Structure 1
């Protein structure tokens, strides 16, 4: 990632990620999260297997290979857990295509928050609080929608959240959920759109951000978050974000909640 003019802002709160900045030379990647990308002033370029789209606001479904070029403009990227109430509602009830224009009024509020931050009318903490609160308000629309993800899958996701530094085998998790390995694996993929193994890697990848500020090297971060070594961690990171962890962390101001 090339740092342009100013430092990027990277924020993690639980399983929600927020990035504000400018992006170039992004490699093709895919991840479990539902991705909302918003151009603040101008359109950005999003490329997928279906071609290139120029847009000011796109919602990208999980496991869709893509690459982002912000065209030297600032973009706001929000990564949401598709198994959350908000993520499930957006993916199942508000969109149908893998990559789709998203023009809800919520987007306008998010742009306004960025503009207030750029004018120094609010600080970073207030900006991030405004983004998170706006999600909560938009989330109220989700409560009336049928949120029908299987409870055993939800329980397994919560179990992974509690054990991010461990490798929980498929056999162990299936037994925890009182299912056969094959049944659990099929149910998990059907409900989340990703294999159990890839989900566990994604959960550990998110958890790794919590250790960045207290660790001196990527090897320490990798070991703290359950990866075998820094090479495995860096490979997984780039496959998920299109950049190496060193590129992202060198150009971003990281905040953890």
Structure 2
């Protein structure tokens, strides 16, 4: 069965260079990366273009020169807003670089703008990765130590207690169960009570947890899943729009059309 959960497993086996690093280049507006979470710290340094990231329910507009930090165990997703969006992405587990800082469970500021020191470090890292001269990985690792130290001294917003960190992980695990169930059963009638029962919560507590974590109500999330699937099916032109509306779980065609227009900005007939 395809893994449809929010959790994204990162495996970085190289003890000498415990970093995943790459350049993302998106050539059209739209999804930059899907919503997910993991235990690692994820940095995006915007090299070119504009976009918006959603992190812990907050929308973050980004542009060239911005550094975006996604802390560990936080839901995040990204959207490109132009035809040429580039970012240097660096992913690592803090404990691989500094157990001292990792033990603090620090939360870094999500968006950093117009910091010349960070700009110099990130562009230097990018240059080393592009040129790949002898010893480039050692050089990058040293520059990452400089970056971590600088962020720790200047851009920490709070620290989580061990209990808060454990609770965050527990809630994310619960959401994985619900989201995977929705992805597999979106065409069926789904109720808040049905979803709440999956993770043994009251309907009220479930709705509060879901909206607190996802930034939207369960029904709004379900409708988004249905609308995205409908969009794919309409583009395939194998069925009529009214048939597709029923296939993805909408019993009221007029409601489907209204929600589709609101979500995409145009009616389904223009897809």
Same fold (TM over 0.5): no
RCO (CA 8 Å, sep 6+): is it higher in 1 or 2? 1
Q: TM-score, normalised by structure 2?
A: 0.42
Q: Which has the larger radius of gyration?
A: 2
TM-score (norm 1): 0.44
